[in-house]
Structure 1
Amino acid sequence: MRRVRVPARPRGLALLCAALALVAVACGGPGGADEGPVPGAPGGVTAEAGSATSVHVMWNAVTASQGIDGYEVYRGTTKVREVPGDEHMVDVIRLRPSTSYVFTVRARDSEGRLGPPSEEVRATTPAAGPADRAAPAAPGAVEGRAVGGRAVQLSWSAAKDDRGVASYDIHQGGSKIHSVGGNQTAAVVTGLRPGTRYTFTVRARDAADNVSAPGGPVRLTTPGTDDGGGTAPAAFRATSHRDKGDGAYYIDLSWVPPSTDGVVTEYQVHLDGHAATSVVFGGDAPRERAVYSFYAGTEAGVSHRVRLRARLPDGTWGGFSPEQTVTTGGERR
């Protein structure tokens, strides 16, 4: 199976939406009665020192009438990070050891309006100490259990380090999804899907940012059922065209990314019942409509069945789009 990395580039639809947004602002004006209230303040904000020079900040998603475009993270009165609206955690780096920091988070809607700041949360980075290149030992006795269809509870025994553990990083598949302080040996992971199998690992991190090997993997299946319909790419279309240069036929796909708690950067294309290629978007992955074309040979009148699925931010594959039949040299059926 081929893996294709696709450079992100502006889409006509995105440009059109941006133009329409400008027109709306020009007609209604900021704060107009038709724009609705500004976003609320993010809740559930936490901050945990990840090392002597970093702090992990998390918060709950905010809903708004105009949709959330992004979040701004502040250290005191200084904006230090900005993340897309479907991300709810960030590592603030380049901090000073043995220093107390105050963080707040603000939501920004698609009209560019900022909501009020969240409640302040504080975190103190540990001392750096002398040069340290030794990583902690891996956490032991990692265990877990499902807590309903959308959350799991993990626990582990404390890892050993010659100078102490500053934090624990929780990974789902190959992605870091959570972080807790070095004095904690348990965590609850939320935002999961019912009826889905997950693999979690835990790594220890010391104040010098040395990271341990992962503890033993925990494999859990959340209870319940999920037909995948809510995680399938929407408005999927497949057509074909003939390239004037080489005379070959290409299948052109377009779709709307599924609505998920995070950014979707990878898709898998199935052709005639088999995985044909993976599409990995570089840079900023498309958030409105995505497009992709691939080679389909030089013969006209050949029909193919095509469908698509997304790798979700939790590391699992989402549901398939409805299957489309496309014929080289002909219109989609």
Structure 2
Amino acid sequence: MQTARLTALRGRVAALTAVLLCTALVQAVPQPASAAAARYEAESATIVKGAAESNHSGYSGTGFVNGDNVVGSYVEFTVDAALAGTGTIAIRYANGTTDARPADVAVNGTVVSAARAFDATTDWNTWATSTLTTPVKAGSNKIRLTSTSANGLPNLDYLDFTVTSSDTEPPTAPTAPSCSEITENSLTLGWGAATDNVGVAAYDIYEHGNKFGEAPGTATTKNLTGLTPGTTYNLTVFARDAAGNVSSVSPIVDCTTSRSSDTTAPSAPGTLSTSGLTANSVGLSWGASTDDKGVTAYEVRSGGTVYKTVTGTPPATTTTLTGLACASPYTLDVVAKDAAGNVSPPSNTVTFTTPDCATDGGVPSGVATVSGGWSIPWGTYWMPDGKSALVTERDSFKVLKATPDGTRTQVGTVPNAVTTDGEGGLLGVAVDPKWSTNHYVYFMHTASEGNRVARMTYDGSTLGGYTVLLQGIKKSRYHNGGRLLFGPDGYLYVSTGEAQTPDLAQDKNSLNGKILRMTTDGKAAPGNPFGNYVYSYGHRNPQGLAFDRNGRLWEAEFGDSKKDELNLIKPGKNYGWPVCEGTCTTDGMTNPKKTWNISEASPSGIAIVRNVIYMAALKGERLWRVPITGDTENLGTPSAYYVGTYGRLRTVTKVPGQDQLWLSTTNCDNKGNEPDGSDKLFRVSIT
């Protein structure tokens, strides 16, 4: 009897324990419940063609907005959403006239309610609320009310904003892209429609990692114009829903525009002359070229390498060429180009030597080849003893030991690494500061489910073991980040790209578009600003990390189509993407310390020698030298070395105990188009 009672009691306890455990688990899992409404006062919003006033009663806050009685007056609110999904917008307004005061309501640039009616409210002291729902993305959202009639806007008091449901399911990938209606300057790209649980809002078209165009979610074609004749475009398509979820990438299609029927080249530019020569710049002027169709650009060249392109309608015939290396000889000419890509004969050449350097940081003074035979060497990290370095190859997944005497020895491969047929694969490498006792080395690589940070052992000759430290970093064909670096604090810093999903960069709960800071056992480092792995956010595709003599972190980042960036990274700061590319005036964004046109940079690795930042440029095919001004946060005048000499430059690394750099090329990738084994590793002396 006692045994039966004891058994029954144990059963009740077990059942109660199960209920409590299930309840605890449910409570522990984040639920997509509605949050309380957040209020945004109109007088604190962006006001165009209107003013904040307080001459009526019943308003909230310090006043309300009275818009001008014109078409196009607007008030723009910036609201924050913790989750992507459906948001409820409640607009409090007053309309003391009998006139209709309609307004377009746009969210993140898309009109979600056209000419929405804001009817009369008896008088200006009587307030009403107009409510609508709309898809929103995680992070910052712009909600704009724009008047559509000459009566202008109603008086606006505030906007209440709530995320009422979440949508985290991305669309399926678009299928079978193809090209048709190809001309010299245009083509029509088509694709198979994606599907989504809510609905596809838009399609994004990329060309070699840069956004090239956009189409509405109802379309499956896009006419691409303004193309160059006889040029191959490498195109992919992504689907995006209204909540900002982005599909995986479509298959790739290469489309080549027709060759132009215009075969007449412009005439040679007139006399080229120089003025205003400094250590890092020179003024240039030349006579205008003529062409049967019209000159579209001038290129300033040295030995066939383009230093600068001048465009316009018509393009100017003067420019200042900056970024020159001090105490260096130059021989330049200028050619003209037309829309068909025909190139004129060159102008006369000018020859000059820039004045001596005015710097205490040293300058590159000599280059020697360390070793050849490489195929897309991506990451380089020196061993603590300074006698050898580990080098990763992106597409072969090999890890090699390289020594100053030119020896290169494979020490292993990284398991589970895969390619993305773009910029993914085996990327960064880092050696544990305590390697002599724990023999740990770290890698970032693309795997089947995404990008990972993994740890292996290395005994000086062979890699072993494999432990995944961090998963959940979304991958894509491009924008995978990938740099690893140990900081003075002993923690591992990781750069991640936004995986061609720009909104992830602003989501502080996402691992993408970030600089991460983590422990050597895979946990978020203590003291991180948001209590997770994120150290800084708002990054597009960061690939350069280096600490200066004051322990400050510098970062180089690929822009999209406007500006590449060199940033000083501080914990918790927002570096802008996709709201800003380069310098901007948006509140809450941290501006870069220097920017470049993408044709001059497309930066990957950076390193610091004697308080000077060296930045390797891929598309720009040069090594940028950027001095730090003492111990301030300011940077001096950038100058460029080896322009076009060695091709695409990927990684630059300081040699321990030496005023030297190791510099690697990436000429075997799908943008360099050189055969495997063509890449090299160079030693650069700084004197």
Task: Give TM-score scaled by structure 2 length.
Answer: 0.24
Question: Relative contact order (C-alpha < 8 Å, sep 6+): which is higher?
Answer: 1
Task: Give TM-score scaled by structure 1 length.
Answer: 0.44
